[in-house]
């Protein structure tokens, strides 16, 4: 930066206005290239006269540039264009850099001027925010972030929006505690909407889908954390927020229920369950559904029926929609959470049984969530465990691993071991501590598991696998001793040694393992 500044903020704005008026994008792009390639080889500033003389080299030729900061339109160059050329633009960018101003703003002068104008108008609007409606807030946020353009890296765009909103905290806004909560809530909703809209325009990939789901998860966690601070808040802001969410749900894809999820979390954590409030909200949904058959709206109305204690009507409402069978599994979580909160365990059994087909072939993460609700039900109503197993069997092979884990959790050792054998596993598949409780409680169940594994390793007929067989034989001997049946072990081992007496390498390993004298 020069020690003799010739630019201040006012003069910088005048310079940007001159650039925006006199230059096109192509010339500025070429000038920026010259500036970045350090082709401005000389820059002399006359502080008193506010004049700048520069030399810009292009392919060995030197262009002499003269800039009068008091009369920018009088700037000149010795190139054929003579004025408003790429050489003058490069010299202005070099001057800006030396004076501590971003040269990139000259490259994007029109956008920079709009941003300055927006920021000045935004500052004047800040004091008006408490008196605005939710709709007004979103118009303000649209204007406040208009200069931030979406990119392929959606998470980078999210961080840019968050950074822009963070700037609002530098200026005190006379919000009440309630309005402060709702304004922050709508900032998060604004960012979610922006990402959803970008996905709809550009198509969804794995990475873009991950961003919107991550935002939804964050919103859900935030509402849980703030729920205790704002429990029972309702009134005009609640009505406006619900109306905003309904409007977003009306245009939501049946398979992407992001705003439905936010709506249910908002009502679960922040809206009092007053009958009149729920009834008026149902009416609002029905009025919108008359004109729009959005599944998200249908699901929202069904959720409110559940809040009214009408689970059968809630289910019938969902089923009545034409796209119900295409719904994603995340549709059901708010309903199940509401039944969990209300301790409606018998109703949850009915819903879980009806839902099972939706989880066929789904990712393990989704099925794990489904099973977690079954576990809650069975803990409260053990008599419905058979219904849980039936649902899991219907979802095979997706639930194979889950069934296996459940057998182990419930210490049902026999079917668990049978599943290991059926999959071709052997005792070395598990850590020793996995088999220890079985060895302690039902050691006899381990016999076929160990015997089959020993036979497998012997058939491979190499010294390495003979060593593995010997290690298993020593564990098998221990199991027989646990059962207090050493004679059975002696009888088995005698026959074993006789069967494989010709395998010298095996005999040697048995001796090394001290199983043979």
> For residue 151, is pLDDT > 80?
no
Angle of helix 345-355 versus helix 311-319 axis, rounded to 10 = 20
pLDDT of residue 123: 56
**Where residue 111 falls among pLDDT bands split at 50, 70, 90?**
confident
- Contacts of 297-302 with CB under 8 Å at 24 or more apart are 297/246, 297/249, 297/250, 299/257, 299/260, 299/327, 299/331, 300/245, 300/246, 300/249, 300/260, 300/263, 300/264, 302/335
User: What is the Cα–Cα distance from 342 to 311, expressed in whole angstroms?
Assistant: 11
**Where residue 346 falls among pLDDT bands split at 50, 70, 90?**
very high
pLDDT of residue 105: 84
Structure tokens at 23: 């230059």
DSSP single-letter state for residue 76 = E
pLDDT in tens, 209-240: 688 889 999 999 998 888 654 444 458 888 99
DSSP single-letter state for residue 77 = E
> For residue 83, is pLDDT > 90?
no
> For residue 291, is pLDDT > 70?
no
Point out which residues pair with 321 in neighbouring strands: none
**Where residue 275 falls among pLDDT bands split at 50, 70, 90?**
confident
Residue 464 and residue 422 in contact, taking contact as beta carbons nearer than 8 Å: no
290 vs 315, residue with greater confidence? 315
pLDDT of residue 10: 78
pLDDT in tens, 58-80: 888 899 999 988 888 889 999 99
User: What is the Cα–Cα distance from 200 to 248, expressed in whole angstroms?
Assistant: 13
CA angle 240, 332, 341 (to 5 degrees): 75
The dihedral over CA atoms of 229, 232, 237, 242, expressed in degrees to the nearest 10, equals 110
**Peptide bond before 432: cis, by omega within 30 degrees of 0?**
no
Residue 334 and residue 269 in contact, taking contact as beta carbons nearer than 8 Å: no
Point out which residues pair with 67 in neighbouring strands: 52
Share of the chain above pLDDT 70, in %: 93
Q: pTM, whole model, 2 decimals? A: 0.68
Residue 113 and residue 23 in contact, taking contact as beta carbons nearer than 8 Å: no
User: What is the Cα–Cα distance from 333 to 265, expressed in whole angstroms?
Assistant: 10
> For residue 440, is pLDDT > 50?
yes
> For residue 445, is pLDDT > 80?
yes
Q: What is the mean pLDDT of residues 261-283?
A: 86
User: What is the Cα–Cα distance from 198 to 209, expressed in whole angstroms?
Assistant: 11
pLDDT in tens, 504-514: 999 999 999 99
Query: Which DSSP helix (H) or strand (E) runs through 63?
Result: strand 61-68
Q: What is the mean pLDDT of residues 372-383?
A: 95
pLDDT of residue 84: 87
pLDDT in tens, 161-175: 988 888 888 788 888
The 3-class SS string of 344-361 reads CHHHHHHHHHHHHHHHCC
Angle of helix 333-341 versus helix 364-380 axis, rounded to 10 = 20
Q: What is the mean pLDDT of the chain?
A: 87
pLDDT of residue 334: 95
User: What is the Cα–Cα distance from 249 to 223, expressed in whole angstroms?
Assistant: 19
DSSP single-letter state for residue 235 = S
SS3 state at 333? helix
Q: What is the mean pLDDT of residues 414-434?
A: 91
pLDDT of residue 310: 94
> For residue 341, is pLDDT > 90?
yes
Q: What is the mean pLDDT of residues 85-109?
A: 88
- Contacts of 345-350 with CB under 8 Å at 24 or more apart are 345/376, 345/377, 345/380, 345/381, 346/381, 347/311, 348/373, 348/376, 348/377, 349/377, 349/381, 349/384, 349/387, 350/311
Helices (H), 167-232: 177-202, 206-230
> For residue 1, is pLDDT > 50?
no
Residue 479 and residue 443 in contact, taking contact as beta carbons nearer than 8 Å: yes
pLDDT of residue 191: 94
> For residue 206, is pLDDT > 60?
no
- CA of residue 341 relative to chain centroid, distance: 25
12 vs 462, residue with greater confidence? 462
**Where residue 14 falls among pLDDT bands split at 50, 70, 90?**
confident
The dihedral over CA atoms of 504, 508, 514, 517, expressed in degrees to the nearest 10, equals 60
User: What is the Cα–Cα distance from 192 to 172, expressed in whole angstroms?
Assistant: 25
pLDDT of residue 147: 79
> For residue 12, is pLDDT > 60?
yes
Q: What is the mean pLDDT of residues 361-374?
A: 91
> For residue 454, is pLDDT > 60?
yes
Structure tokens at 382: 């053990």
**Where residue 9 falls among pLDDT bands split at 50, 70, 90?**
confident
- The side-by-side arrangement of strands in the sheet containing 61-68 is 40-46, 51-58, 61-68, 76-77
User: What is the Cα–Cα distance from 411 to 399, expressed in whole angstroms?
Assistant: 18
Distance in angstroms between the alpha carbons of the first and the last residue of the chain: 89
Reduced to 3 DSSP states, what percent helix, strand and coil does the chain have, rounded to the nearest 5?
70, 5, 25
Helices (H), 342-459: 345-355, 364-380, 385-394, 400-409, 413-422, 432-441, 447-459
Q: What's the residue count for the chain? A: 517
pLDDT in tens, 176-201: 888 999 999 999 999 999 998 888 77
Residue 28 and residue 19 in contact, taking contact as beta carbons nearer than 8 Å: yes
pLDDT of residue 229: 47
């Amino acid at each position: 930066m020069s020690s003799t500044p010739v630019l201040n903020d006012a003069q910088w704005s005048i310079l940007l206005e001159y650039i925006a008026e006199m230059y096109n994008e192509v010339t500025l792009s070429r000038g920026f290239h010259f500036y970045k390639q350090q082709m401005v080889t000389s820059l002399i500033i006359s502080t008193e006269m506010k004049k700048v003389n520069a030399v810009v080299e292009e392919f060995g030729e030197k262009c002499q540039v003269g800039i009068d900061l008091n009369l920018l339109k009088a700037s000149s160059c010795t190139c054929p264009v003579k004025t408003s050329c790429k050489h003058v633009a490069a010299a202005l960018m070099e001057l800006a850099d030396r004076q501590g101003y971003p040269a990139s703003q000259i490259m994007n002068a029109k956008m920079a001027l709009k941003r300055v104008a927006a920021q000045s108008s935004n500052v004047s609007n800040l004091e008006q925010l408490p008196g605005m409606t939710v709709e007004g807030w979103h118009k303000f946020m649209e204007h406040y972030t208009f200069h931030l353009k979406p990119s392929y890296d959606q998470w980078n765009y999210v961080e840019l929006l968050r950074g822009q909103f963070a700037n609002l905290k530098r200026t005190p806004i006379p919000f009440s505690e309630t309005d402060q909560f709702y304004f922050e809530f709508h900032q998060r909703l604004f960012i979610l909407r922006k990402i959803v809209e970008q996905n709809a325009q550009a198509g969804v990939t794995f990475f873009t889908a991950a961003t919107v789901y991550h935002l939804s998860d964050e919103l859900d966690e935030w509402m849980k954390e703030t729920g205790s601070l704002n429990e029972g808040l309702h009134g005009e802001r609640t009505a406006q927020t619900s109306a905003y969410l309904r409007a977003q749900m009306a245009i939501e894809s049946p398979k992407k229920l992001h705003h439905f999820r936010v709506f249910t979390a908002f009502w679960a954590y922040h809206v009092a369950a007053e009958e009149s409030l729920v009834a008026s909200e149902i009416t609002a949904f029905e009025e919108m559904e008359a004109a729009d058959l959005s599944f998200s709206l249908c699901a929202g109305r069904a959720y409110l029926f559940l809040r009214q204690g009408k689970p059968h009507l809630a289910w019938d409402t969902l089923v009545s929609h034409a796209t119900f069978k295409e719904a994603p599994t995340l549709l059901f979580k708010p309903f199940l959470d509401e039944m969990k909160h209300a301790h409606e365990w018998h109703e949850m059994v009915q819903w879980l049984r009806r839902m099972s087909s939706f989880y066929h072939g789904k990712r393990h993460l989704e099925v794990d969530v489904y099973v977690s609700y079954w576990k809650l039900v069975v803990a409260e109503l053990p008599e419905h465990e058979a219904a849980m197993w039936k649902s899991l069997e219907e979802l095979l092979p997706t639930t194979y691993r889950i069934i296996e884990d459940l057998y182990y959790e419930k210490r049902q050792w026999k079917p668990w071991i049978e599943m290991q054998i059926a999959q071709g596993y052997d005792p070395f598949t598990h850590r020793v501590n996995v088999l220890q409780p079985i060895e302690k409680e039902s050691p006899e169940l381990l016999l076929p598991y160990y015997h089959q594994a020993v036979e497998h390793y012997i058939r491979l007929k190499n010294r390495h696998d003979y060593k593995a067989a010997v290690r298993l034989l020593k564990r098998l001997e221990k199991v027989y001793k646990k059962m207090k049946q050493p004679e059975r072990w002696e009888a088995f081992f005698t026959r074993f040694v006789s069967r494989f007496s010709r395998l010298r390498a095996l005999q040697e390993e048995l001796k090394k393992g001290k199983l043979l004298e």
